Every structure is written in structure tokens, then in C-alpha cells.
Amino acid sequence: MRRAASLLLQKAAAAVRESATGRAGAADGLAVLQRRASAAAGGARKGGGPVRRPAEQMHRGRGGAAFEAAPVVLTAEELAARERTNYLLGAGLIAMSAYGYYIVSRPRGGDGVPTPSPEHLVNWSGTHECQVQRFYQPETLEQLEATVKQAHTTAGRKLRCVGSGLSPNGLAFSEDGMVSLGLMDKVLDIDTASGQVRVQAGARVQAVADELRGHGLTLQNYASIREQTVGGFIQVSAHGTGAAIPPADEQVVALKLVTPALGTLELSQDQDPELFQLAKVGLGCLGVVAEVTLQCVPAHRLLERTTVNTAREVRKAHAQRLRDNKHLRYMWIPSTDTVVVVTCNEVAEGQEPAVPASKYSEEQQLAPLRTLLRSRLSAEQAAEVGGLSATQCRDRLLALGPLDAAWVKRVNQAEAEHWRRCEGTRVGWSDELLGFDCGGQQWVLETAFPAGTIEAPDGRDLAYMDELLRLVASHNVPAPAPIEQRWTAGSSAGMSPAAGAPGSLHSWVGVIMYLAELEPEQRQAVTKSFQQYAELVERQLMPKYGAVAHWAKIEVPSDPAQLAAMQQRLASRYPVAAFNAARRRLDPHNILGSPMMDALLPHTAAPAEAVAA
């Protein structure tokens, strides 16, 4: 493992020198990681194969009418860029694998259960870690069923399902026992007539997108990153942006759910619809999602347009922007009157929109950040700045004074100027453009709240931002950029933060503090500062706007009064009684629970009893 990591890190260094940009194919790198890590440790993964990319395909829409897919061919330059990124991300994460981030499959026991081992796990954000006693990685549905059954029939046993470990709050962590579906990652079926795809829950979102592209299909929307497993993607109600597009869980057509008490259930709108709607965003508490069927849409390209506005300009055009753009994202730069507006709209087949050349070279675009960074470094250190991307520059700049509000303002001002120089357009496939660089390790709190309808937005989304920015200023919060704001339509899943009627509009706002490049003492100080920042949002804004936190970004308060208030807020927003009743029916011994879930959604489980297998 160590030798494999070393070799990949050497190739990553070469990739850095060759790469002209710092952005491409992140999900591919993680997919490569999982396979190479497994091979390096002697674990042979079954299935898989090269991604098929035929030049032409015929496929059918929902009505069954055939239409011709656009040619899908990667250029040599695109392939080279993707391979460079594979090495970059694969190298970094395989090193984390050696540390305990990813675990390879173990031999299975005589009962069909993979032999577990104790492991030390750290989530992607570096904010939570777990010393798990038993870590399982089944390769088949039968092994998964045996693993869940064994936990159910063993007194006091726990078994949380983990995806990619991307949740900033370590939602899937449990010290007693965990199961990963990393080796259950196949695309099982693509039905071009219905436009549906059936996958194992451990399949990576980007791997599914790549496979779909060859059939002229894609997912309706994508989150900022695509390294998630499909199971994790839906279980936390991950979302992209688009006022008329609901979160990912709304794409779910059917589920195969392995439950402790009732075995494997197949759920859909026709098969136990009430449980289906709860299980779509089941938070890993109702069963382990083994397979997912998703409704797709025709593969399409998008025209992305990035502009920089003032807050006043945003307010003036906001309602029209929501209606006119398929995807809309704002990045508010604190302590500046700067809002980066990113829109994406579908390009009609056969059209080739004009994409004017940028006014600035890449070096000129990065100059505001690089110049500020060089001003604080020695001559020797400054010589290395020329190879840094924008997010890398920001990480290093913030590390020089992460809690110095005046310094953070200067960094934000440099970032605002960087974005002014990055205004422009580009064209690409939806799964390539809708993701973006989230930066390095970080604390983040993202809230969701209703904001009217797409036809009649009520203005609460911008009012929330006005109040948030005033809080940052009045409390002198060292708030780095960006504060990101996105929108979705409502979801029919009761446990989604965007649960609502069709046509309802929901705004999502994320505040952040970065941890990359920080020393341990600095990380502790930033963590404390972020907790204070988050408490401001939770006390001053969330009750007023009826906001709830993204399930992957909610943190359990240590203060009993704050925890009680959070439990009350969740109970008033979600069908918690029905959800906990389903938990008791499907998982009477609460083996799928965890300290976090039991604190947020407290319920009384049936007595845990040892039952003979």
C-alpha cells in the first residue's frame, strides 16, 4: 500500500507540472483510487470494465419515441486531463487509504459475512474520525443481507452504512460497527426506453454519469462534487441547483432496502408508497440501501455564464433570474459588495454557442490572489506560488491569519477581484459543468428554507442573505468566501430539508471556514470560531426563516438547551413520529442508529436481545 501510494504521488507531481488547469474529473480520481487501493492491498474487485463511449447511440424518452444521441467522444486532450486528475486525486486519497480512509475487502466467514476488522476512519473534511471495531465490505447482496442479519441477531450490535465518507458531520460513523458498499458499485441496467438506470448503491455518481453518457442519458442534476456513492447521494437528500429541479431523492423510482427485521424490501410508489417516501431520505436508519433505480434525462450540454454583480444588481434581477435559468448559483463574498452569479442553461442539439475568449489570461486571473500571497512570503516560498490554483492560494492565504477578521477581508477582496477577471462563458456536458471546486478541508453549515414558488418567490431568500451578511459584519466574524446560495424545487420525500409541494421553491445557504494548511492549534481555534459562527446562524436566522440544516452538515450541540431546541425544530419540520415508527418496525433493536442520529431523532427502540442465528 505504501509503495503504491508513493508511485501515485510521483505521478501526481508530474501531473501538476503538466496540467494547465486545476479542475477536472474529480470523481474519476476517486473511482480510480478505490480500484487501485484494492489492488495494492491484494483485494481483487469483481466486475467493472472500461466506460463505453460509442460515437453514436439511439435511445428513447419517456414516451418511447426514439431520438439520436449527440456524439460522445473524448478528445485526446480531455483524456489526458482526466488521467492527470485521476493521478492527483487518486494519489492523495490512496495515501488516506493507507491511513484508514478506505478499507479493502476481507475474506468472508462461513456464514457468508465478510470478516470484519478494526479500522481508523477519517471523513473527507478532516472534521470527524472514528475508531470502528468492526468494518465490513460485502461484495454481493447475499453478503450484505448476512451482515445485517448477524448484527440484528447479536445483542447490542450496531451497523451504520457508510458511503464515500464525504459528509462533513461524519453522519455514517459508528464506533461499534460499519458497513461499506464500496465493492457493490455496479451499474446493473440501463433502460433507454424508460430513461431509467438501476445501480448498486455503492456506485459513484460520476461513474454512473460516465456510463449513462454512452447511452445518451444523464442524471437530472448534480451536487457540487460527484464522488458520492449513489446510496449516500439520496439518503441525505443531496442537491444541486435549479429552481425547478428537486433534490436528488426525487429522481428515485425504486429502492432495494435491506432491513434488520423484515429482510430485503423492494419499495416504489406502487410498492408500499408511504414507506418508500420515508426511505428515499432514510439517513441510513431504516435499512441499508442496496440498489437504486433512478429516472434519467437525455444527456445535454450546458452554456455556463459567470458574471460579477453588486448586491443591488442581484436584488433587481433575482426573480427573473430564477425563472429564466435552469441552474442558478450565487457566491456572496463577505465584506465586499460582490456577488458571483453563475447560470447554466441547456444548449439545443446542433447548436454551437459563441464562447468569447477571456479578457484575461489564467496568470492575470490569478494575479490578485498570488500577488497578495507573495507579499507575505519569503523569496524562496514566493517562487512556489506560480503553480497554485485559486483555491490553493486561498487556503494558504487564510492559513496566515484564519481568525484575523481584517486579514480575511483582504483575502476576500483579492478573491472578488479574481472573480471579476474570470467573468465569461463556457460550454460542456451537464455532469462536467454543474460540479465545482469546493476547496480543501472545511467546516460548513448549510441550511434550507422555503422561499415561495418559482412563479412567485417571496423574497425571503435574499432577506436571509441580507441578515446573514449584517451578522457577519456586526460580530466581526472572520468569514471567508464564498457564502454559497442555491435553490431547488420541493421534494416529495418527507425527510428532505426541501420537502414541499411541486412548484415550491427552497433556498440553500452554506457558510464555511477552511481547515486546509492549518496547524493543529489553528484547527482547534478555527473549529471554535466556526461553532460560534454557526450558533449565530442557528439562533438568529434559522428559527425566523423556518430553516433546517442539510443532513450531512448538521452537528449535535453539546449544550442540552440548544439540543432540545434543535430536536423541537426538527420535529416541527419533519414527520419524525412516522419516521421513528418505521425505525421501530424495520429495526427494532436500533442497530442502524448512532449517537448522532439518536440525539437528533430520539426514539425508544425495542429491547435488544440475543437471538440464535
Q: What are 306-341's pLDDT values in tens digits?
A: 999 999 999 999 999 999 999 999 999 999 999 999
Q: Which of 306, 438, 413, 421 is nearest to 362 (CA)?
A: 421
Q: Is the pLDDT of residue 542 over 70?
A: yes
Q: Is the pLDDT of residue 363 over 60?
A: yes
At 437, the pLDDT band (50, 70, 90 cuts) reads confident
Q: Which of 179, 283, 142, 247 is nearest to 586 (CA)?
A: 283
Q: Which three cell numbers, joined as nine digits, stand for 372?
A: 497578495
Q: Is the pLDDT of residue 31 over 50?
A: no
Q: What's the pTM value of the predicted model, to 2 decimals?
A: 0.82
Q: Is the pLDDT of residue 196 over 90?
A: yes
| pLDDT of the residue at 108 | 54
- In this prediction, residues 470-483 reach a mean pLDDT of 97
| pLDDT of the residue at 110 | 54
Annotate 486-546 with DSSP letters as a single string: EEEE-BS-TTSTTB--TTEEEEEEEEEEE-TT--HHHHHHHHHHHHHHHHHIIIIIHHHHT
Q: What's the pLDDT tens digit per position in 78-134?
A: 444 444 444 444 444 444 433 333 434 445 555 788 888 899 999 888 899 999 999
**Burial zone of 424 (CB within 10 Å; 0-12 exposed, 13-18 middle, 19+ buried):** middle
At 226, the pLDDT band (50, 70, 90 cuts) reads confident
Q: What gap in Å lies between CA 352 and CA 212, rounded to an integer?
A: 23
Q: What gap in Å lies between CA 18 and CA 159, rounded to an integer?
A: 44
| pLDDT of the residue at 517 | 86
| pLDDT of the residue at 109 | 56
Dihedral of the CA atoms 497, 288, 27, 242 (nearest 10)?
-20
| pLDDT of the residue at 88 | 42
Q: Which of 288, 280, 233 is nearest to 494 (CA)?
A: 280
441 within 8 A of 127, measured Cβ to Cβ: yes
Q: What's the pLDDT tens digit per position in 554-596?
A: 999 989 999 999 999 999 999 999 999 999 999 999 999 999 9
Q: Is the pLDDT of residue 46 over 50?
A: no
| pLDDT of the residue at 613 | 36
Q: Which of 317, 108, 346, 116 is nearest to 220 (CA)?
A: 346
Tell me the average pLDDT of the chain.
83
Q: Is the pLDDT of residue 147 over 60?
A: yes
